[in-house]
Structure 1
Amino acid sequence: MRKEITVTNADVIANRIDSRPRPEPNEVTAPYFAACARGELLIQRCPDCGHAQHYPRALCTSCGAAPDWERSSGQGTVYTFTVIRQTGVAPFREEVPYVVAMIELAEGPRLMGNVTGVDPEAVRIGMPVEVYMVQVDDEVGVPYWRAR
């Protein structure tokens, strides 16, 4: 029997977030994770060449300049995805099946995350999604995605 994923699974994720591996911010990634904890999604944009990037880095991956932080709209589309149907990893075992997707943001960069609140069989490439945050603690939040 296929397990339905509902919006209430966001609450399940929030309740289990303590049992998952915690992202460990460093001096480059700390502003990103702190913004996520406040409910904001940040990307980096180069002031010299205009390149937008994610995952946070000390330098622009296009020209090597120091990037600035920019608030993302949090809107994107599913670029590609997979449905995880089994796992031996304890914190994730009760959530299968779940969707791990590469999301292409409206601003250009792509980032990996879980799509929740929709049956995994309904997820499609090109599906519009929006971000929501699950707060791990005062310093770290993690982006998740739901259908728009």
Structure 2
Amino acid sequence: MSLSDALLLPVVDEDGAPFWEYAARGELRVQACASPACGKLRFPPRPCCPHCGSFASEWRPMSGRGRLWSYVVPHPPLLPAYTEQAPYNAVVVELADAPQIRLAGNVVASRDAPLNSVDPARLRIGAPVRAAFCPAGPDGGVTLVRWLLER
């Protein structure tokens, strides 16, 4: 078993499955209410719009650009499988085209780089980032959204 096989991967549920399907195609999309009177974005995905109560939804493409809203470097790593990759970061990214939407992930040097590939001293709140898509897991069955620092 490789190190990436031991890391925690998301559980794909019915509501969030389209997010992961789009990520596997290299697209960042966010669920939105499909009611013409509402149309608001929502994340995490859910069956009912929290704004108007509609069950109609669609998945809107995002640019994949954002900014670091928050980050942490866990000391020590919280789980044994992550020890080899310390120090690594865990970040929250605010999407540029949907500031009310924030996604968790990691800033890495390239899409398939290890979690510790970016020196934590380079991270700053507000730093511009862009999405990168990395197949993960034993069979590459889940594509993670990771983040690259913009220069």
TM-score, scaled to structure 1: 0.81
Could you tell me whether the CA contact under 8 Å between 1:36 and 1:135 is conserved in 2? Answer: no
Aligned to 2:15: 28
Could you tell me whether the CA contact under 8 Å between 1:102 and 1:113 is conserved in 2? Answer: yes
5 Å matches for 1:111-130?
111-117=103-109, 118-130=118-130
- Displacement after TM superposition at 1:90 (Å): 2.2
Confirm or deny that 1:145 pairs with 2:147.
Answer: yes
Give the number of equivalent residue pairs: 134
Could you tell me whether the CA contact under 8 Å between 1:35 and 1:141 is conserved in 2? Answer: no
- What letter is aligned with 1:32? F
SS at match of 1:70: strand
Aligned to 1:45: 32
Where does the alignment leave 5 or more consecutive residues of structure 1 unmatched? 1-14
What is the CA–CA distance in structure 2 between the aligned matches of 1:28 and 1:139, rounded to whole Å? 18
Equivalent position to 1:56, from 25, 45, 56? 45
- Displacement after TM superposition at 1:88 (Å): 4.6
Identity, % of aligned pairs?
A: 35
- Displacement after TM superposition at 1:28 (Å): 1.1
- Displacement after TM superposition at 1:110 (Å): 0.7
C-alpha spacing 1:16/1:36, structure 2 compared with 1 (3 Å): farther
SS at match of 1:56: coil
What is the CA–CA distance in structure 2 between the aligned matches of 1:130 and 1:29, rounded to whole Å? 21
Q: Deviations over 1:35-93 (max 9, x none)?
A: 21222211012233131122111122222222210121110001111112312512211
Where does the alignment leave 5 or more consecutive residues of structure 2 unmatched? 110-117
- Displacement after TM superposition at 1:139 (Å): 4.3
- What letter is aligned with 1:132? A
Q: How well do the aligned residues superpose, as a CA RMSD in angstroms?
A: 1.7
